[in-house]
């Protein structure tokens, strides 16, 4: 895997990797999981148009064949419960797209967030979750946009409270926000 060096590390039970669009957060998260060996890639994106299809293809191509990919746009807690194991890490990419799917399906965002938080507290293996930090930009023009931004901010805070490790990635560079080693 030329040009992609895994970050050798022991992962805590939950790691949250935050960043903006094209910040390098997914690549960083992938390197964390690859440091433990082959992992499970839990993909939440749905290819609703050509541009998203291309983004998904780019991510798949970058990952190569070492990953077991599971596509789950809505039942994230269920998929984590099914695929988490002590012998490998699970990468969730990404929470923000999952939130968009939950809102689009008109599910109760607070209930889904609570279910995810409870699930994360009892998994048998490490999980790395990727999420966009959407609250650093301009205020969205529409009510739906503002609601999404607010839900995303609360979701990130909820997961950050649970996660022993939280990393913010900007310009491909990680900044450790929280690292509680036990």
Mean of pLDDT values over 36-46: 88
Strand partners, 176: 167
Q: How many CB atoms lie within 10 A of CB 120?
A: 22
Within 8 A by CB and 6+ apart from 112, the residues are 76, 77, 102
pLDDT tier at 79, thresholds 50, 70, 90: very high
Catalytic residue (one of 59, 83, 88, 151): 59
- Rounded Cα distance, 92 and 108, in Å: 20
Q: What is the DSSP letter of 163?
A: -
- Mean pLDDT for the chain overall: 90
Please give the model's pTM, rounded to 2 decimal places: 0.90
Least confident of 65-74, 127-136, 145-154: 65-74
Q: Under a CB-based contact definition with an 8 Å cutoff, are residues 169 and 23 in contact?
A: yes
What confidence score (pLDDT) does residue 9 get? 63
Q: What is the DSSP letter of 121?
A: T
pLDDT tier at 137, thresholds 50, 70, 90: confident
The owner of tokens 């009510």 is: 143
Asked about 88 being catalytic, the answer comes back as no
DSSP readout, 56-115?
HHHHHHHHTTSSEEEE-SS-HHHHHHHH-BTTB-EEEE-HHHHHHHHHHTT--HHHHHHH
What confidence score (pLDDT) does residue 182 get? 53
Domain 14-179 has CATH 3.40.630.30: no
- Rounded Cα distance, 103 and 47, in Å: 16
What confidence score (pLDDT) does residue 58 get? 78
DSSP readout, 6-20?
----PPPSEEEEEE-
Asked if the model's pLDDT at residue 8 lies above 80, the reply is no
**pLDDT tens digits, 84-128:** 999 999 999 999 999 999 999 999 999 999 999 999 999 999 999
Distances in whole angstroms, Cα of residue 157 to Cα of each of 37, 43, 154? 29, 21, 5
β-strands 90-93, 40-43 pairing: parallel
Q: Which of 66, 39, 63, 43 is nearest to 126 (CA)?
A: 39
What confidence score (pLDDT) does residue 32 get? 93
């Amino acid at each position: 895997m030329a040009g992609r060096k895994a970050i050798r590390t022991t992962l805590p039970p939950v790691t949250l990797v935050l960043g903006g669009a094209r910040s390098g957060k997914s690549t960083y998260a992938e390197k964390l999981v690859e440091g433990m060996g082959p992992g499970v890639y839990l993909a939440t994106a749905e290819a609703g148009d050509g541009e998203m299809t291309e983004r998904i293809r780019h991510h798949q191509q970058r990952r190569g064949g070492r990953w077991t990919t599971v596509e789950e746009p809505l039942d994230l807690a269920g998929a984590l419960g099914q695929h988490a194991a002590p012998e490998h890490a699970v990468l969730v990419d990404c929470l923000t797209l999952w939130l968009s799917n939950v809102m689009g399906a008109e599910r109760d965002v607070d209930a889904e967030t609570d279910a995810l938080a409870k699930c994360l507290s009892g998994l048998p293996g490490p999980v790395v979750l990727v999420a966009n930090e959407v609250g650093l930009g301009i205020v969205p023009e529409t009510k739906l946009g503002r609601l999404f931004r607010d839900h995303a901010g609360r979701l990130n805070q909820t997961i950050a409270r649970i996660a022993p490790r939280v990393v913010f990635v900007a310009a491909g560079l990680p900044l450790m926000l929280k690292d509680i080693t036990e």
